[in-house]
Amino acid sequence: MQTLITGGSGFIGSHLATLLFEETDDDIILFDDFSTGRSSNVSHLTDHNRVELIEGDVIDKETITPLVQQSDRVFHLAAAVGVQRIVDKPLRSMRTNLIGTENVLDAAVDDQTPVFIASSSELYGKAEAVPFAESDDRVLGPTSSLRWSYASAKAVDESLALAYYRDHDLPVAVGRYFNIVGPRQTGQYGMVIPRFVEQALENKPLTVYGDGTQTRSFTHVTEAVKATYELLTTPEAHGEVINVGAPEATSIKELAERIINLTESNSEITYIPYEEVYSEDFEDPQQREPDVSKLESVLGWHPTTDLDRILNDIIEEQTTVTAST
């Protein structure tokens, strides 16, 4: 069996590739434009003849179509990554999400190739009724704030996936990721945990955007990719949108305090207004917590790794990287 992972050298894609390599006999094609992914993320796999790393862009229909058509299943993870990148390059982000997803789905129709579509909890926007269930209404800000362009594009991705399922019987599953974190993630594009860990290890101030009362639920990447694989291989998940996340929520202020404690850092916490980091019209959701009952019903489990274990894994990796440089 051949499996294609778009965004295969990215943070989540590389962990999914590792899972597939270790737990299946699949030949694996990793497709990436390296805008945020890194070949070093999959260097432990690419020396094996079962794994091939191909550079390319999902927007390029002539390139991605034959790769989808020669594969037996596709995990479509290629997307813009991080709030900072979305704000800085909104048009590129939207094109990747919209055109890339349609290219993958369209190429999969003829052979009825199963496709997993990675979506995001960004879709819930500024909704306040937590935990967020898949059928909840979405609350977004105005289109003049490009911060919401990612949520809008991902919503169209989901609608495309469901339309291909209903109109073409394409076996497709959609996973809405909630703050997936773990080793290999970089803080370069606004990811809060690796940024805080790096600051703490260097005894620099941990920079909290806003007042720190906003809450997030963090999911260990190993559990996220396990759910990703199982959703595509579980027929009951086809034609469904399902939250992929851990239900434990914590405030960003508390997150900073826990990281300082776990790293035994001398860092202090500083608070920076959003407009100094992004723009005057920037809005950040106050809370992000998943209802995982649907995931539990379909797969029989949901992510349970506690936050301290997640943080320690990232701290250990960052400490090792720092010691080797």
pLDDT in tens, 96-126: 899 999 999 999 999 999 999 999 999 999 9
Q: Are the beta carbons of 148 and 91 closer than 8 angstroms?
A: no
Q: Omega of the bond prior to 131 within 30 degrees of 0, cis?
A: yes
Residues of the chain above pLDDT 70, percent:
94
**Tokens standing for 101?**
């997803």
Per residue in 287-320, is it b (16+ CB within 10 Å) or e — as a string?
bbbbbbebbeebbeebbebebeebbebbbebbee
Can you list the domains of the chain with their CATH numbers?
2-178+221-246+290-304 (3.40.50.720)
* pLDDT tens for each residue of 249-274: 999 999 999 999 999 999 999 999 97
Helices then strands (H, E): number in the chain?
11, 13
> Stretch 25-29: mean pLDDT, rounded?
97
Strand partners, 175: 118, 242
Whole-angstrom CA distances from 322 to 179, 199, 200, 316, 318 are 24, 12, 12, 10, 6
pLDDT, mean over the chain: 92
- Across the range 201-207, mean pLDDT stands at 96
The rounded Cα 207 to chain-centroid distance in angstroms is: 23
pLDDT of 187 reads: 67
Q: How confident is the model at residue 323 (pLDDT cuts 50, 70, 90)?
A: low
Asked whether 146 and 90 are in contact (CB, 8 A), the reply is yes
Cβ neighbours, 10 Å, residue 235 = 11
**The Cα angle at residue 13 between residues 172 and 99, in degrees rounded to 5:** 55
DSSP category for residue 20: H
150 is catalytic: yes
- pLDDT band per the 50, 70, 90 thresholds, residue 325: low
Average the pLDDT over 145-160 and give the result. 91
pLDDT at 188: 62
How confident is the model at residue 92, as a pLDDT?
84
The dihedrals phi and psi of 317, each to the nearest 5 degrees, come to: -65, -45
User: 276-299, pLDDT tens digit by residue?
Assistant: 876 666 777 888 999 999 999 999
Model confidence pLDDT, tens digit, residues 155-181: 999 999 999 999 999 999 999 999 999
pLDDT, tens digit, for every residue of 39-67?
A: 999 999 999 999 999 999 999 999 999 99
The catalytic residue among 150, 189, 209, 229 is 150
| Structure confidence at residue 221 (pLDDT) | 97
Residue 322's pLDDT band, with cuts at 50, 70 and 90, is low
| pTM for the whole structure | 0.94
